[in-house]
Amino acid sequence: MKTLLKPLSLALFVAATLPAQSAYIRNSPPSDTVPATGSSPHFCKAIGGKNDDGGKSLIQTSDGGYAIAGGTTSFGAGILDVYFVRLDAYGNLQWTKTIGGPESEEASSLIQTSDGGYAIAGITQSFGAGEWDVYVVKLDANGNLQWTKTIGGPDFDVGNSLIQTSDGGYAIAGSTRSFGAGEWDVYVVKLDAHGNLQWTKTLGGKKEDIGTSLTQTFDGGYAIAGATKSFSAGEDDVYVVKLDANGNLQWTKTIGGPGNEMGFSLIQTSDGGYAITGATNSFGAGKGDVYVVKLDASGNLQWTKTIGGKEEDVGFSLIQTSDGGYAIAGLTTSFGAGKDDVYVVKLDANGKSQWTKTIGAKNGYLIKSSIIQASDGSYFIAGTTRSFGAGGTDVYFIKLDKNGNACCAVSQTSRVGSGGRLRSATPSIGSGGALTAPTSSTSSGGTLTNQCP
């Protein structure tokens, strides 16, 4: 059996959500087409300090600038702090914020809120009820701290994906080992606009089930993607869960083969269906391939695609593009200049490969990437680099033109395939979680480095 990229086995993937000093975990970012700004057709920039800093989630802000959230060991109050970076429309650094306590905190998901401020979800070790708690941070438009919340129980609870809901509140998807039916369960948390707890749900079986990406659906409910070991055909399968507006289960689906499949990013598509990207080692050209799954509105399988080379390739972030196709940001060890390069894949509406690009250098280092598209067709990506910048690892911020070109990008020829069976599952449903409102420390720091001339 093929081996899947090491961080992507389910147990290791879950463990990777519990950060060490230099660890950066995955998340599922917002996927939006955003206004085009700035005079440069492309750029590649690094932001950070002398130690390890990384970016997990990227948005374009209402003023045409950008914001990135992740983690920092260069600045802040503890071992690892939430790192928030604010850039102008040209990619110039405006300000940074760190949020945390004496131990470790890290952001996995960032949104701009309806009041012009920001909300961040991730994990905390400094505060809360257990080993790790879901961590939610609310900032105003200038990055000033408004409130923080923790949600969890006596064990490990992780927040991976955050949205603002149609009622002005928030919903978070992640994983819990404090509550539920198995070793890990999908964890869904609903807060009101002030961060007060409204409800929680756990979904899973007797083994390990995790939630990585969340969207509010056109009907006001929620769709969640992740991975399941409880209901898989092989080792792990992509797991898709549909809830109504009150968190009641409507349906679940698993997609996969005899090996490992995982879903990292889910969107609802313009036809009312769903698209998921992640990783597979059951199908494809190499040890692990980017995996793309298309479902209809009822969760029925329409098509799957694998993209990659002879080694290990993973999709972390997926958007539907302005032409009706898809763009994916991930990592590759099959192609590129380093051992972990940024991997950007463009597909048409039917999943046919249009182009692939790699970005990196010989000291490549990428655990997570996030992609958005501008109205002129250009793409923006955030992640982590060890090849450029001020320290061990830096936040990496990249602008590609509509064809994927940049001073730091290289074209590649990837192999495309397909595979995967669809199954339904009946998970156990539960709830749980205590809410606290800790007082977090804030500071700032960071140097911007231009890779391109």
Q: Predicted confidence band at 388 (pLDDT cuts at 50, 70, 90)? A: confident
Q: Predicted confidence band at 96 (pLDDT cuts at 50, 70, 90)? A: very high
In a domain, 265, yes or no: yes
The pLDDT assigned to 24 comes to 27
Indicate the number of domains in the chain: 1
User: Is pLDDT at 447 greater than 70 in this prediction?
Assistant: no
pLDDT tens digit string along 222-267? Answer: 999 999 999 998 899 999 999 999 999 999 999 999 999 999 999 9
User: Is pLDDT at 27 greater than 50 in this prediction?
Assistant: no
Provide the domain limits for residue 290: 6-450
Percent of the chain whose predicted confidence (pLDDT) is above 90 = 67
Kindly write down the DSSP assignment for every residue of 250-273, as one continuous string: EEEEEEE-SSBEEEEEEEE-TTS-
Percent of the chain whose predicted confidence (pLDDT) is above 70 = 80
Q: Predicted confidence band at 29 (pLDDT cuts at 50, 70, 90)? A: very low
In a domain, 437, yes or no: yes
- Residue that wins the pLDDT comparison between 423 and 168: 168
User: Is pLDDT at 18 greater than 60 in this prediction?
Assistant: no
Task: Output the average pLDDT for the chain.
Answer: 85
Most confident of 93-107, 352-366, 434-448: 93-107
Q: Which of 329, 353, 351 is nearest to 341 (CA)?
A: 329
Compute how many other C-beta atoms are within 10 angstroms of the C-beta atom of residue 193: 15
Q: Predicted confidence band at 4 (pLDDT cuts at 50, 70, 90)? A: very low
Q: Which of 209, 270, 271 is nearest to 426 (CA)?
A: 209
In a domain, 69, yes or no: yes
- Residue that wins the pLDDT comparison between 131 and 410: 131
pLDDT tens digit string along 304-334? Answer: 999 998 999 999 999 999 999 999 999 998 8
User: Is pLDDT at 409 greater than 90 in this prediction?
Assistant: no
User: Is pLDDT at 126 greater than 80 in this prediction?
Assistant: yes
The pLDDT assigned to 80 comes to 96
Overall average pLDDT of the 11-16 stretch:
40
Q: Predicted confidence band at 376 (pLDDT cuts at 50, 70, 90)? A: confident
Whole-number Å distance between alpha carbons of 234 and 420: 11
- Residue that wins the pLDDT comparison between 222 and 341: 222
Overall average pLDDT of the 215-226 stretch:
98
In a domain, 246, yes or no: yes
Contact predicate 387/434, CB 8 Å: no
Q: Predicted confidence band at 368 (pLDDT cuts at 50, 70, 90)? A: confident
The pLDDT assigned to 413 comes to 64
Tokens of 95: 């300000």
- Residue that wins the pLDDT comparison between 219 and 364: 219
In a domain, 1, yes or no: no
User: Is pLDDT at 191 greater than 60 in this prediction?
Assistant: yes
Whole-number Å distance between alpha carbons of 385 and 396: 6
Compute how many other C-beta atoms are within 10 angstroms of the C-beta atom of residue 36: 15
How distant, in Å, are the alpha carbons of 1, 208, 233, 286, 419 from that of 258? 9, 17, 6, 15, 11
Overall average pLDDT of the 413-418 stretch:
62
| 2-6 contacts at long range (C-beta below 8 A, 24 or more positions apart) | 2/259, 2/281, 2/282, 2/286, 2/287, 2/288, 3/281, 3/287, 3/288, 4/259, 4/260, 4/279, 4/280, 4/281, 4/287, 4/288, 4/312, 5/279, 5/287, 5/288, 5/312, 5/314, 5/333
Whole-number Å distance between alpha carbons of 173 and 161: 5
Terminal CA-CA length for the chain:
45
In a domain, 32, yes or no: yes
CATH number, domain containing residue 287: 2.120.10.30
The pLDDT assigned to 34 comes to 41
- Residue that wins the pLDDT comparison between 338 and 158: 158
User: Is pLDDT at 22 greater than 90 in this prediction?
Assistant: no
Q: Is 114 left (phi over 0), alpha (psi -120 to 50) or beta?
A: alpha
